[in-house]
Structure 1
Amino acid sequence: MSTQMWIRQIHRWLSMAFTLAVIANIVAMTMQLQAVWIGVLALVPLIPLLATGLYLFALPHVSRGNA
Structure 2
Amino acid sequence: MNWNKGTRQVHRWLSVVFPVAVIVNMIVIAQGQYVAWVGLLAVAPLALLLPTGLYLFALPYVTRWRGGRATG
Q: d(CA) in 1 for partners of 2:50 and 2:61?
A: 17
Percent pairwise identity? 48
Structure 2 residue 47 is matched with structure 1 residue 47: yes
Q: d(CA) in 2 for partners of 1:41 and 1:30?
A: 16
Q: Which amino acid aligns with 1:47?
A: A
Q: d(CA) in 1 for partners of 2:41 and 2:12?
A: 18
Matched residue of 2:23: which SS? helix
* RMSD value, Cα: 1.1
Matched residue of 1:28: which SS? helix
Runs (4+) of structure 1 moved beyond 3 Å?
A: none
1:21-59 CA distance string (max 9 Å, x none)? 111011111112221111111111111111100100100
1:7 aligns to what?
7
Q: d(CA) in 2 for partners of 1:26 and 1:34?
A: 9
Q: Which amino acid aligns with 1:26?
A: M
2:32 aligns to what?
32
User: Structure 1: which 5+ runs fail to align?
Assistant: none
User: Structure 2: which 5+ runs fail to align?
Assistant: 68-72
Structure 2 residue 33 is matched with structure 1 residue 59: no
